[in-house]
Chains A and B, each alone.
Chain A
Amino acid sequence: MKSEIRDVDDVRIIELSGKITIGSGDVKLRELVDTALEDGKNKLLIDLAGVTAIDSSGIGEMVACYTTVTKRGGQLKLLRLSPKINDILHVTQLITVFDVLDTVQEGLAAFK
């Protein structure tokens, strides 16, 4: 999995690409979120446009990150799901947990 980070005002946008899977992508995701919180960023927009696959460990880490950020008074939202990632969030019913936005502009506005 590859990642790019940029901050827009007080929102950290984490762009992910590749696979979020056991043993690599899931660990990296946790590190990226931990780093954001250490940097004082607790409004996180996870851009999944480039993500090709997410296994149950990746989904689990996403849930764990969501819980961690929420407990610290922050917000974690998802951006630009591919159709397959969208399907997975629906079958796991996690679509009811995450706030999902279609564009960066919508994502940023959702934190206002």
Chain B
Amino acid sequence: MPATEPLEAHLVLSSRYENIEIAERALVDLCEFAGFSGDDSYWLVTALREAAANAIRHGNRQDPERSVVIDYRIQDLEVTIRVEDEGEGFDLDSVPDPTDPGYLLRPSGRGIFYMRQFMSRVEFSRAPTGGTVVEMARRLEPEIRSQ
């Protein structure tokens, strides 16, 4: 299959939960434009919402003066989403497995688990400013892409 021009978008949002809807809308529109099915975009949106919510709540502490930067890229059959906050970072190793019986009834701590379940690749790093960057990707199978 020949390479196609990438579809890209860049959003800068203030740290308000309602802005997650804007991030979702942008992704849904890109997926529709790329010809992906609603089923594909549903799980991408689910992962995106978790990354954005973590950036707003844990990264930026819901400070509307701090931004969440989201970059989307769709090329061929791969969707890549990068979410960066302006927080202080966190220790990934300190996040327990929410399916561990001892943590199953905890009311929080499932965000990263959600991302890992619904994306093929999820990587965390530190931004030059000290915030957290999560980059996640999902490669869609040709047969499940809508025509």
In whole Å, how far is A76's beta carbon from the nearest beta carbon of chain B?
Answer: 12
What residue of chain A has the Cβ atom nearest to residue B108's Cβ?
A60
> Which residues of B12-28 have CB atoms within 8 Å of chain A's CB atoms?
17-18, 20
Residues of A contacting B105 in the complex (Cβ-Cβ under 8 angstroms) = 63, 66-67, 97
| Apart from A22-B49, A24-B18, A93-B99: 19 A-B pairs, beta carbons within 8 A | A21-B20, A21-B49, A22-B17, A22-B20, A53-B42, A56-B110, A56-B114, A57-B53, A60-B108, A60-B109, A60-B110, A63-B106, A63-B107, A66-B105, A88-B46, A92-B98, A92-B113, A94-B104, A97-B104
> Which residues of A32-75 have CB atoms within 8 Å of chain B's CB atoms?
53, 55-57, 59-61, 63-64, 66-67
Interface secondary structure of A, over-half rule:
helix
Residues of B contacting A53 in the complex (Cβ-Cβ under 8 angstroms) = 42, 45-46, 49
Residues of B contacting A60 in the complex (Cβ-Cβ under 8 angstroms) = 106-110
Do A55 and B108 have beta carbons less than 8 Å apart? no
Interface residues, chain B, with chain A CB atoms under 8 Å away = 17-18, 20, 42, 45-46, 49-50, 53, 57, 98-99, 104-111, 113-114, 117
Do A23 and B18 have beta carbons less than 8 Å apart? yes
Do B107 and A61 have beta carbons less than 8 Å apart? yes
Residues of A contacting B99 in the complex (Cβ-Cβ under 8 angstroms) = 92-93
Do A91 and B111 have beta carbons less than 8 Å apart? no
Q: What is the bound-complex CA distance between A22 and B42, given in angstroms? A: 17
Do B107 and A22 have beta carbons less than 8 Å apart? no
Do A56 and B106 have beta carbons less than 8 Å apart? no
Q: What is the bound-complex CA distance between A91 and B17, given in angstroms? A: 25
Q: A22-B17, A24-B17, A93-B99 are in contact. Are A55 and B113 (CB under 8 A)?
A: no
Do A84 and B111 have beta carbons less than 8 Å apart? no
